[in-house]
Every structure is written in C-alpha cells, then in structure tokens.
Amino acid sequence: MFQYGFEETAAAVHLWCEKDGKRKSEARLLTASGANLCGFSVDGVEYLVPPPPAGSDNRHFGTPVLYPFPGVIKDRKFTFDGVDYSFEPNRGEVFRHGYVSDQKFEVSQPEVLEDGICLRTWIEIRQEHPLFTVFPVENRLDLHFTLKPDSLLINFLGTNLDSRNRFPFGFGLHPYLNIIGPRETVSVTVPMKKWMNLDSGELLDPSVGPADFRKPFSLAGLDIDAVWWGMEPEQPHSVRFHSVQKQFKAVASGIFTHSVTYCPGKSNFFCLENWTCSPNAPNFAANGKAEASHLTILDPGTSASGSVMYIIEDID
C-alpha cells in the first residue's frame, strides 16, 4: 500500500509517494514561478534538470509552461478577427513561449486520492492583471498535477473569460530532461507523421527533415531544434536511458498534435515537448495553414482541455 504526502512553502510544493518509509516517486513544483515542474523522480532517478543557483540562467530547467503561444511569434505580431496584436520582446529580440513561465499561480492544498496525490494550480488573467496588457483577451489556465508511483499526470484547461473577443491559443510543456549516462546510451523515438518546415509552414515527409526519429535515434552527436506534426495518443514520443534500463514516455491526449525536439550540441539536457499547436500558430493559421498550425480558437465562455502523462517504465 502506497502512502502520499506533501510539503508547501510560499513558492513551491513538494509531492511524494512512498511505501514502507521509502520514497517511490517525487515531484516538485514552483507555483510562484510559472507552475514549473522542476523535479520528477522515480526510484531515486531524477529525470528533470533542477533549478540553477540564484542569479544564473533561470530558463533551462524543469518543465516551463508555454502559454498562450508556444514557440516564436514571427515579427512579434499577428492579426486575428481584424485586430492587430503586437508583443514586446521577452527573449532577446523575439517573443517566445508566451507569458506565464515566470508568473505566480494560485494553488489549492494537495488532495490525496485513492491512487495518487493531486495539486491544482491556476492563473486568471482579467483586465486588472498585468499580463492583460500583453495580450488583451481575458482568459484562465488551470493545471492539475497528479503524482502516482510510476507516473505524473498533467491536465490543462484553457478558458476564454472574455465577454466579447474570441481567444486564439496553444499550450505546451517544455521538459528539460537530464541526459542520464553517456549520450550514446540515450535514444529518442518520435512517431510523427510529418516534419514541419517553419519557414513555409509545409508538412513534409520526416525523411527530408533534420533527423528521422520514427525509430530509436541516439543522442550521440545530436544537435537539433525541430517541430514534428501528426502525433497520436496511441503512439507517444519517448526517451530510453539504457544506462539505468528505464524509459521516459509522454502519453498525450489528442489535442497535442505537435512534438518538439530540442537538444543543443554538447548540452547536458534533452527536450521532448508536447505542444497543441505549432510555433507562430496565429500567423500560419491566418495564411491558410490551419492543419499545420492547429491553433485552438475559443468563443467567449468556452474551454479546451488536454492531458500529458509522464510514465517511467522498465526497458523490455
């Protein structure tokens, strides 16, 4: 029989699952900084890059939440329903990954369930919220994190709170995975249908892309930042860590049509990301690339939801 527990501070929540006094799984979330899942371990193996020391680069760790526009908005602007929207740079000269990754989320007390422990967090952006000036459509994002012995389920709900305007949005998770063991012993599989050319918005055969991850592909020498389209719940992307004989699998619901792989050369991390849309989705959608962009559009008062479950399994 598993037991579940938690600890809370003003900035973070620590969840755990244990049996006979030994920790089976743990999760750590920075609720005061973007609801970032900054730790996820099973059987003592930590799969996420931890937060860096204060004052250093605070981007490349944990699991940043990408909302309401994963990726880069080209030229920091788009037009939707006849309204021109423009954005100030938030990463160098570009506007990238939306606006919640460093924001405080509200949080409820964790709830112990029969088979896990759940933390509910949310951010509500109405006219009085500072983020409303960045993108003036009232909206709310709810995130529920449920830790189980060998997995972590993340549910999201995006809601249009605006009484007049439609809400175009996407949602993504950007886990920075530790490279456990030598790079040549780590392999990635992404059962995509197409590679997305981000210059043209075309969906092309993966064989003409920067790599073909439809079969396990080693991280040795890999240097990549690519977007894939056509993901399905029955065929999740995954990473195999042969040095510990474990597999990290991300099982996503049908709204998550895109997968992103990001691995700078010689980095100590690898990113395998679930997105509901493409980068620059509002502009691609406006230019006739609706299928490739998969932009979600909510009428006033409506919502869209989805889930991603991170599962740790033994390698067969």
Quick check: 158 and 67 in contact, CB under 8 A? yes
- The first and second tokens of residue 50, run together, are 């931890």
Side-chain-facing half-sphere of 88: CA atoms under 13 Å: 5
Q: Which pLDDT value is given to residue 169? A: 98
Residue 124, exposed/middle/buried by CB under 10 A (0-12, 13-18, 19+)?
Answer: middle
Q: Which pLDDT value is given to residue 65? A: 98
- pLDDT exceeds cutoff 60 at 234: yes
- The first and second tokens of residue 37, run together, are 């899942």
pLDDT (average), residues 89-93: 90
**Residue 124, strand partner residues:** 140
Quick check: 226 and 210 in contact, CB under 8 A? yes
Q: Quickly state the pLDDT bin for 2 (edges 50, 70, 90).
A: very high
Strands (E), 127-211: 139-148, 151-160, 167-169, 172-173, 176-178, 186-189, 194-196, 203-204
Q: Which pLDDT value is given to residue 59? A: 74
pLDDT (average), residues 49-61: 76
Q: Which pLDDT value is given to residue 52? A: 82
Quick check: 12 and 28 in contact, CB under 8 A? yes
Q: How far apart are CA 239 and CA 260, in angstroms?
A: 13
**What would the pLDDT profile of 96-138 be if each residue is shown by its tens digit?**
999 999 999 999 999 999 999 999 999 999 999 999 999 999 9
Q: Which pLDDT value is given to residue 79? A: 98
Q: Give me the percent of the chain exceeding a pLDDT of 70.
A: 98
Q: Quickly state the pLDDT bin for 201 (edges 50, 70, 90).
A: very high
Length of the chain: 316
Q: Work out whether strand 117-125 and strand 111-112 pair parallel, antiparallel, or are unpaired.
A: antiparallel
Q: Quickly state the pLDDT bin for 55 (edges 50, 70, 90).
A: low
Tell me the Cα Rg of the chain: 19
Quick check: 218 and 267 in contact, CB under 8 A? no
The residue behind tokens 């049509």 is 257
Distance of CA 299 to CAs 70, 123, 125, 280, Å? Answer: 20, 19, 16, 20
**What would the pLDDT profile of 167-183 be if each residue is shown by its tens digit?**
999 999 999 999 999 99
- pLDDT exceeds cutoff 60 at 56: no
Q: Which pLDDT value is given to residue 57? A: 60
Nearest to 272 by CA among 136, 161, 175: 175
- The first and second tokens of residue 85, run together, are 């929207």
**Residue 298, strand partner residues:** 167
Quick check: 144 and 120 in contact, CB under 8 A? yes
Backbone angles phi, psi at 137, to 5 degrees: -130, 125
Q: Rounded mean pLDDT of the chain?
A: 96
Nearest to 79 by CA among 298, 221, 284, 310: 284
**What would the pLDDT profile of 132-191 be if each residue is shown by its tens digit?**
999 999 999 999 999 999 999 999 999 999 999 999 999 999 999 999 999 999 999 999
Q: Give me the percent of the chain exceeding a pLDDT of 90.
A: 94
Structural domains in the chain, CATH included, are: 3-314 (2.70.98.10)
What's the start-to-end Cα distance of the chain, in Å?
26
Q: How far apart are CA 167 and CA 70, in angstroms?
A: 15
Strands (E), 161-295: 167-169, 172-173, 176-178, 186-189, 194-196, 203-204, 217-218, 224-229, 237-241, 246-252, 258-263, 269-275
**What would the pLDDT profile of 266-309 be if each residue is shown by its tens digit?**
899 999 999 999 999 999 999 999 999 999 999 999 999 999 99
